[in-house]
């Protein structure tokens, strides 16, 4: 599928996520947290990162926020990627999403890495909206960066 057919399918995926907001509603037991603003559009969100007992796998993210359809849908899509994902596999997904969003519509995105978020590929043609799509991903990156490094004990024999 290509062209208008794919575009309208993607529109539908984006609208569904913006209404259903997977993972919305902050949970208390967060390992780390990040609050992000996109002043150019008025989007705002808080992401809580929940990890397993050993701290190397994401249990889930919970989040709350307000703003445009794209910012809310993107966070909902991101939520769906993260349950049970090893922390070490976050970075390649962030990199793939960022590459797609900087491509001005040239990169379609890999559904194996990005799931439903490939539906946001077309948004990359609209420079003003890229920050909306990136907001949740920036929050995730910030929250992951605050986690203790997995090899924190190695320096203390």
Of 156, 140, 157, the closest CA to residue 49 belongs to 140
Which strand ranges, in their side-by-side order, compose the sheet holding 43-51?
A: 32-38, 43-51, 58-66
CA distances from 141 to 42, 83, 124, 147 (A): 20, 15, 19, 10
Residue 58 or 130: which CB sits closer to Zn ion? 130
Q: Which of 6, 26, 30, 41 binds Zn ion (CB under 5 A)?
A: 41
- Residue 136 CB, nearest distance to Zn ion (Å)? 11
Residue 68 or 113: which CB sits closer to Zn ion? 68
- CA angle, residues 46, 52, 56, in degrees to nearest 5: 95
- Residue 138 CB, nearest distance to Zn ion (Å)? 13
User: Do residues 71 and 38 make contact, with C-beta atoms less than 8 angstroms apart?
Assistant: yes
- Residue 129 CB, nearest distance to Zn ion (Å)? 7
Residue 81 or 120: which CB sits closer to Zn ion? 120
Q: Give the integer Cα–Cα distance in Å for 136 and 82.
A: 12
- Binding span for Zn ion by CB under 5 A among 8-16, 22-30, 40-48, 148-156: 40-48
Of 76, 78, 121, the closest CA to residue 103 belongs to 121
Please report, as residue ranges, which positions from 64 to 83 form the binding site for Zn ion (by CB under 5 A). 67-68, 71
**132 lies in the binding site for Zn ion (CB under 5 A):** yes
Please report, as residue ranges, which positions from 72 to 131 form the binding site for Zn ion (by CB under 5 A). none
Tell me which residues touch Zn ion (CB under 5 A): 41, 43, 67-68, 71, 132
């Amino acid at each position: 599928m290509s062209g208008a057919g794919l575009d309208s399918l993607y529109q539908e995926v984006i609208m569904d996520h913006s209404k259903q907001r997977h993972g919305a509603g902050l949970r208390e037991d967060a390992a780390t947290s990040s609050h992000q603003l996109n002043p150019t559009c008025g989007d705002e969100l808080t992401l809580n990162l929940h990890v397993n007992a050993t701290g190397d796998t994401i249990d889930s993210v919970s989040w709350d926020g307000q703003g445009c359809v794209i910012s809310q849908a993107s966070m909902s899509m991101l939520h769906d990627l993260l349950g049970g994902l090893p922390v070490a596999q976050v970075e390649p997904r962030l990199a793939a999403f960022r590459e797609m969003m900087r491509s001005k519509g040239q990169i379609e995105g890999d559904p194996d890495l990005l799931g439903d978020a490939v539906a946001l590929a077309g948004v990359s043609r609209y420079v003003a909206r890229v920050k909306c799509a990136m907001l949740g991903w920036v929050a995730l990156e910030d929250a992951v960066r605050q986690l203790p490094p997995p090899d924190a004990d190695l320096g203390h024999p």
